[in-house]
Amino acid sequence: MKKILLTIAIVISYNTVVSAQEEKIVDDEYNKWSIEFNVGQSKGIKPYSVGYFASDPGKNFGSIAINHFSGGVRYMFSPKFGLKLDGAYDNLENFKNSGSLDFEMRHIRVGLQGVVNGARLFDIQDNLGRFSFLFHGGIQVAFMTPQMGINEGRTERNGGIMFGITPEFRITKNIAFNTDFTFNSNIRQHFNWDGAYSEPNNNLAGSLFTTSLGLSISFGSEKVHGDFAILRDKTRKELEALEERVAKIEIDLTDSDKDGVPDYLDVEPNSITGIAVDTKGRMIDQNKNGVPDELEKYLERTYATKDSITVTDKQMVTKFINDGYVATYFDFDKRKPTNVSTEGIDFMLTYLRNNPEASIDIIGHADEIGRTPYNDKLAKERAENVKQTLVKAGINASRLNAISNGEDTSVDASSVEARRLVRRVTFRVK
């Protein structure tokens, strides 16, 4: 008995140490407390006097009777390991017409057990979905009282160990259905299950098997049952955040349009290569006609007549827009443009004011992160947002057509910096 108790104490101490270590790397994102209620059948396996037995020998699986009621409270120190305090009431008696002599024994038990979440222990919780299973084992104290015969009303306190397994199925966010199989072993016992009493110096070893069905109810601040909650690793989360910060620094220090101004200072990160820009990376347009000054000078030098210049100027600007050089960028899962990328909208506003007969498509794009239907809708909402900005700036809504181009798969979806370049709105002159 002392060896068994020492072994159980070592197991519980190990569970406590391991759970303390796990707490360092796992967020407190699961409910630790739960209560359990079960109803089922208990059968005393041994010992019995001659002529007494629990099962019906005429049936393959014996007879079924509801004679077990139990309840308990459980606290999980970590996602894998916990402790449970529970109690049970069993009323054991012979089945009618089974051939056994009559007996009736009341058995009341209190147990203290360690609990292991098997699904998390073997790291298969993602594969099981709504299913899970628990291992439990510990010490128990029981009170046996015969309800008939010569020892009727006499109570004996026994002690021993217990262990079992509890498969679970989550039926709501915080309620799970369970089936429990538990084996009790009384190391100190003098009563047979039929009520006969052994001499004090003749210690018996008694065993009891219980099968039951019940409910496990988890409670706490989280919305999902603690046995099934999806947990995030703090270390992994911190590494992902660090990767995001490093990637942001890298993208900030790059000069996408090669204009000499780093992107984090570049108000217009898609300026035409070779066109002069100011200190904020904006193409210089002193006459505010929507065409960069250096591009205007090139047109004037290249084309002889005013008419040809006008026609070519419009064609060049149209090609400039339709080829995607004018764009507005968005942060992840956002509908409003970033503060530094509204130059694209300003460019189109100037163009539309200078060309009152022109109408445009406003084309929304999204990266590949998330579900496709959601991203299609997000891209359309980005285009609608830009459209409303232009409408509020005085452009007739009939000249603006907001459409979604959905997910842009032209870049590596695993690259944070590459995904920034496809979360945008572009324009097309009709």
What structural domains and CATH numbers belong to the chain? Answer: 2-219 (2.40.160.20), 247-429 (3.30.1330.60)
pLDDT in tens, 316-347: 888 889 998 899 999 998 999 988 778 889 99
The pLDDT tens digits of the residues spanning 159-179 come to: 999 999 999 999 998 999 999
Res 2: pLDDT: 43
The band of 393, judged by pLDDT with boundaries at 50, 70 and 90, is: very high
Cα 1 to Cα 6: distance, rounded to the nearest angstrom: 9
Sequence-ordered list of residues with C-beta below 8 angstroms from that of 386, at least 6 positions apart, any chain = 328, 337, 345, 362, 364, 402, 425
- At residue 371, the pLDDT reads 92
| More confident position, 49 or 98 | 49
As to burial, measured by CB atoms within 10 angstroms (0-12 exposed, 13-18 middle, 19+ buried), residue 390 is buried
For residue 86, is pLDDT > 90?
yes
Looking at residue 267, what is its pLDDT?
A: 72
pLDDT at 64 over 70: yes
Residue 276 pLDDT: 75
Q: Which of 5-14, 129-138, 230-239 has the lowest mean pLDDT?
A: 5-14
Calculate mean pLDDT across residues 7-29: 44
Q: What percent of the chain has pLDDT over 70?
A: 85
Mean pLDDT confidence for 101-120:
95
What is the b/e burial string over 288-319, where b = at least 16 CB atoms within 10 angstroms of the residue's CB? eebbbebbbeebeeeeeeeeeeeeebbeebbe
Mean pLDDT, the chain, as a whole number? 83
> What integer pLDDT is reported at residue 238 of this predicted model?
73
Distance CA 22, CA 20 (A): 5
Mean pLDDT for 200-208 is 80
Q: Which amino acid is at 126?
A: D
**Prediction pTM value:** 0.49
